[in-house]
Amino acid sequence: VNLNDDDFGEKQFVTAGWGTKETQFHGSEGKAAAKAKPMIIGKTENDSGSITVSWRGDGTCYAVSYLYPEKNARYFKVFSRQGTLQWTSELTNGLEENLSWKPSGNLIACSQRLPNKHVIALFEKNGLKHRDFSLPFLPNEINVKKLSWSPDSDILAIWGQKFGEQKTFIQLWIENNYHWYLKQTINFQDENPLVCFAWSTLPRSKKRLILLTHENFVVYTFRWSIDCTRGQTDEDKSIVGVIDGDRILLTAMKMGIVPPPMSHQSLQISRPSNECFFAPPLRNDTLNWLDSNCLFVYLADDNNKNQLALYTHQK
- The pLDDT confidence band at residue 121, using thresholds 50, 70 and 90, is very high
Question: In the predicted model, is pLDDT for residue 264 greater than 60?
Answer: yes
Q: How many CB atoms lie within 10 A of CB 173?
A: 20
Q: What residues are paired with 174 via a beta bridge?
A: 181
**Of residues 42 and 256, more confidently modeled:** 256
In this prediction, residue 14 carries a pLDDT of 56
In this prediction, residue 207 carries a pLDDT of 94
- The pLDDT confidence band at residue 16, using thresholds 50, 70 and 90, is low
- In this structure, of 154-163, 197-206, 259-268, 280-289, the range with the lowest mean pLDDT score is 280-289
Q: In this prediction, what percent of the chain has a pLDDT beyond 90?
A: 52
Ordered structural domains, the chain, with CATH:
21-221 (2.130.10.120), 239-312 (no CATH)
Q: What is the mean pLDDT of residues 33-54?
A: 74
CA of residue 293 relative to chain centroid, distance: 30
Question: In the predicted model, is pLDDT for residue 286 greater than 50?
Answer: no
Residue-wise pLDDT for 44-100, tens only, equals: 888 888 999 999 999 999 999 999 988 889 999 999 999 999 999 998 989 999 999
**Of residues 22 and 137, more confidently modeled:** 137
Q: What is the mean pLDDT of residues 222-249?
A: 87
User: Are the beta carbons of 59 and 81 closer than 8 angstroms?
Assistant: yes
The pLDDT mean for the chain works out to 85
Nearest to 89 by CA among 115, 104, 105, 107: 107
Q: How far apart are CA 83 and CA 12, in angstroms?
A: 16
Q: What is the mean pLDDT of residues 122-137?
A: 94
In this prediction, residue 237 carries a pLDDT of 83
Residue-wise pLDDT for 171-226, tens only, equals: 999 999 999 999 999 999 888 999 999 999 998 888 999 999 999 999 999 999 88
Tell me the pairing of strands 142-149 and 168-176. unpaired
Q: What is the CA radius of gyration of the chain?
A: 23
- The pLDDT confidence band at residue 303, using thresholds 50, 70 and 90, is low
DSSP at 289 = B
User: Are the beta carbons of 34 and 56 closer than 8 angstroms?
Assistant: no
Question: In the predicted model, is pLDDT for residue 289 greater than 50?
Answer: no
Q: How far apart are CA 10 and CA 83, in angstroms?
A: 12
User: Are the beta carbons of 296 and 279 closer than 8 angstroms?
Assistant: yes
